[in-house]
């Protein structure tokens, strides 16, 4: 039997619903996958689903909130700039490329948490990834902050040159823990936005059985709808 961690989701968050063509296409686009969806049949997806507001409350109850994010942000920058030339600034490049690396480092030194959160909002709203980078410069109110540097760092567009240390499986936002990353994302997310833990692949391949009761209930409900009263 497969095992997985529910993180801050709970058993009552479980839902089974059809996976729409639009949701699947958006997911594929994030990873630069091309797929013919003309015969898409909306398979069931198995999710833990709650709202941003509720997940924010759960994280706060567990001790993760804006204040802890700010503290972790400062600690992160201390580590990143522990040496005169952090990894993302001290490249072996010369000329224009080396100067751009130094300019990026200067922007990151000056940027505050609110600047990074603005960049994160841009990345999330435009669905930017390493495969879907920005096509134009982003305007910003502070002329001393090159917000495009922060957007590129956060979206992972700059690859292994992004700010270090990294969170495993996450990109260049300046924090250490998954919980702080979630707090940051929830800072720029509407209260009623969906927050999802998708375990569909585990359920479909019989590596997880935590949805069995819902599967049976759905099957019984479908069968009940198919039973029609006998006409006399």
Name which of 71-85, 153-167, 203-217 the model is least confident about. 153-167
| Residue pointed to by tokens 């300019």 | 103
pTM of the entire predicted model = 0.79
Instruction: Inform me whether the pLDDT recorded for 199 exceeds 60.
Output: yes
Element holding 15 (H helix, E strand):
strand 14-18
Element holding 103 (H helix, E strand):
helix 95-110
Domain ranges of the chain: 12-57+192-214, 65-176
* Residue 142 vs residue 86, higher pLDDT: 142
- The residue-averaged pLDDT of 202-229 equals 78
**What DSSP state is assigned to residue 13?**
G
* Residue 30 vs residue 149, higher pLDDT: 149
**If you average pLDDT over every residue of the chain, what do you get?**
80
pLDDT, residue 84, reads 61
Distances (CA, A) of 159 to 8, 32, 136, 166: 29, 15, 19, 11
Tell me phi and psi for residue 169, to 5 degrees.
75, 0
- The residue-averaged pLDDT of 55-62 equals 98
């Amino acid at each position: 039997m497969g095992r997985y961690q529910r993180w801050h989701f709970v058993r009552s968050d479980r839902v089974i619903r059809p996976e729409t063509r639009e949701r699947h296409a958006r997911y594929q686009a994030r990873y630069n996958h091309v797929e013919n969806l003309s015969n898409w049949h909306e398979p069931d997806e198995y999710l833990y689903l709650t709202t941003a507001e509720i997940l924010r409350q759960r994280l706060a109850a567990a001790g993760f909130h804006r204040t802890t994010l700010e503290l972790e942000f400062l600690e992160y920058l201390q580590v990143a700039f522990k040496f005169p030339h952090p990894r993302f600034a001290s490249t072996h490049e010369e000329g224009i490329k080396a100067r751009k690396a130094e300019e990026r480092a200067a922007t990151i030194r000056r940027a505050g948490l609110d600047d990074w959160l603005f960049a994160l909002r841009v990345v999330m709203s435009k669905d930017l990834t390493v495969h879907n980078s920005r096509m134009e410069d982003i305007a910003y109110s502070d002329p001393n902050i090159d917000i495009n540097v922060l957007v590129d760092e956060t979206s992972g567009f700059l690859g292994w040159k992004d700010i270090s240390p990294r969170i495993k499986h996450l990109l260049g936002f300046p924090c250490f823990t998954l919980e702080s990353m979630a707090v940051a994302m929830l800072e720029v997310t509407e209260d009623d936005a969906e927050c999802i833990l998708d375990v569909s692949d585990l359920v479909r391949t019989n590596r997880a059985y935590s949805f069995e009761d819902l599967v049976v209930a759905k099957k019984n409900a479908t069968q009940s709808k198919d039973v029609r009263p006998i006409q006399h």
